[in-house]
Structure 1
Amino acid sequence: MNQSAITKSAIIEKYRKDFPATESLFIDFGGCVIETRVNNSQLLADLNNYFKEFLVDTDKGDILITAHECPVADLGLEYTVKQPDPGKTKIKEEFHNLPDGRVVYKRLTGMLFVFGGEDNIAIGPCIENSNQVINFINNRFIEYKLNNGCFLGHAAGVIENGRGIAMAGFSGMGKSTLALHLMSRGTTFVSNDRVMAEDNGDSLTMYGVAKQPRINPGTALNNPDLSCIVTREDKERFLAMPKEELWELEHKYDALIDECYGKNKFILKAPLSGLVILNWKRDNSETTVNIVDPKERKDLLPAFMKGTGLFYRPDSPEKESDPDVDAYADFLSKTTLIEISGGVDFDKAADACLKFMKDGSI
């Protein structure tokens, strides 16, 4: 078939006919409801368990996704390679832009994701790669919020006393670790790795992503609320490692919020009262906490700025370019920007965040 004749609509029609998806779950992402319809009961159970805190009883969604467990498919398309991120070499994704959408092909798993707008589809070995289906669902919400004018941030988020705070940091600074320290001290979770920030005129709102934290062994072993997810054998092995080696270890655990911290401790919408930038070092210097002006400290903002990536398809040409640092500086002037520098001290950082969420001061 002529590639120009292949459309998102035609792909969706074919696979929904060949592999009918009849079982649904509805997920409420802070006011945007996504219906995910599947053709396999195991996949349905996996998704229900992962998104259980956000399921709603309805029969109508704002966005539809169907996920079809089936053999790896060949759509007859020529793909463009997505070059690896800086510092990485393995090619994982390829893509093809359609007249009415985009296809992303995952090289390592054979999964295909076809998307754009309110109708989307996942095709391939979905059960084996349910994490990719979960990411696809979350990315549809991210796309929805970005197309409605939100800025994308690479940050974790929590809320307490009606004041939300996002935490960003340059690579390896520990934003998720700090968020989980705050969870152990009574806050409510908003997001682990991405926030969409919305301008409300004189203030900002952040929307989280319904993705459970994935943590390294060092984070798990240093937080009593999380140590339960590490097996006894792994715990003994990790504790025998040098501290630096443990923190750099490429090994991740899923830390489900409801299992580690209890029910009703994960929401997806909160005021963005403050943004913390972790800009510290692993040395013995004193940890310092300061409120700074984003327009004067643009050097900090790339820690929060996040490119939209391959799974975002803008709904208008003006959204094809990501906002620049000046746009982020203007945008973030409507919240409080806090820099934490000096030596790493998660307890002191958590104290500062809790004080800010209590009364707005540091």
Structure 2
Amino acid sequence: MESSVRREEEPVLTPRQIFERLDRYVIGQEEAKRAVAIAAHNHLKRVQARRMRRGSLIKKSNILLIGPTGSGKTHIARNLAEILSVPFTTVDATEYTEAGYYGKDVEVMISDLLFKANHSVEDTQRGIIFVDEVDKIARRTQGARNGAGSRDIGGEGVQQALLKLLEGREVFVPMNVTQAWNKSDFVQIDTKDILFICAGTFSDLHEYGDGGTRPVGFGAEDAVRKVQKRITVKQLVDFGMLAEFLGRLPVMVQLHALGEPELLRVLTEPPDSVLREFRELLSYDEIELDITEDALRAVVRFSVEKGLGARGLRSILEHVMADVMFDAPELRRRRLTVDAGFVNARLLRLDAAQLGA
């Protein structure tokens, strides 16, 4: 009882406080971080008002993140959950089907959150669910758009099934995620205060809502980027998203691809950066690791050329550092310097292996 009263009296984090904490771990995407911070702040105020049993007009601030691979969509959501100190789970929209068909029912994603909350119903009801690959559940059939066309159980059907969760309903969810078919072990969860963050690349969105044309020639890349900055609800509906589904995701945030300067900062600045992780791993073998700036720039350049974004930095560094990590236990009490020549030689080998594949 005391803990619940204490939680009610805790001051709500301001958008600036949320932004500043996100800013420590998420490089770039200033506009996205501001929008997410505002949405999270409003969500906290709504949850607090409901807990204190005050009438409130505040609606759910579910979020839709649109951006290329490796731009930080999952990273923003995961760090937001840590800042708000709430349970968090990531689910893949493509795993779910319309109720009654082979595949996971959408209620199973609430079960995932319940599991992450150690089966605490109260904590589950204020958690965050990150629904990835939401662009993959766009309408696949081109028949009637009023439900009278052919069944689309993995696309439109999933969007329809998600409507009640996004809006906020009391639903029965299986206690055991691995035995969702067991109808005897269910618990009732209210999704009114569960924040849903949906994300997708919508990589071919430029084909919708702009006459089906794509800019070509010099400056085409910049032109495509400008089109992406003007994404509208109409474009998303034409893409295959239900208007009702989008209506329950009022906060639409667009992320851009990270450039070389930003990716260099991703490698070096955040407290949980990949570079810091490698240095810590090698420190256990009493090895001090130095990587030159030119070497880091070579890694970043390779990631940009391959379109891998921030997510690709880890896999590239894992390959580059493989020989060092293998020999590390036998090289105690040393200072190792990794330069651009060392990195480029291994990137050439990696490039050749990819071409061979």
Question: TM-score per shorter chain, which class?
Answer: under 0.3
Using the size of structure 2 for normalisation, the TM-score is 0.23
- Bigger relative CO (Cα 8 Å, ≥ 6 apart): 2
Which structure would you say has the larger Rg? 2
Which protein is richer in strand relative to its size? 1
Using the size of structure 1 for normalisation, the TM-score is 0.23
Which protein is richer in helix relative to its size? 2
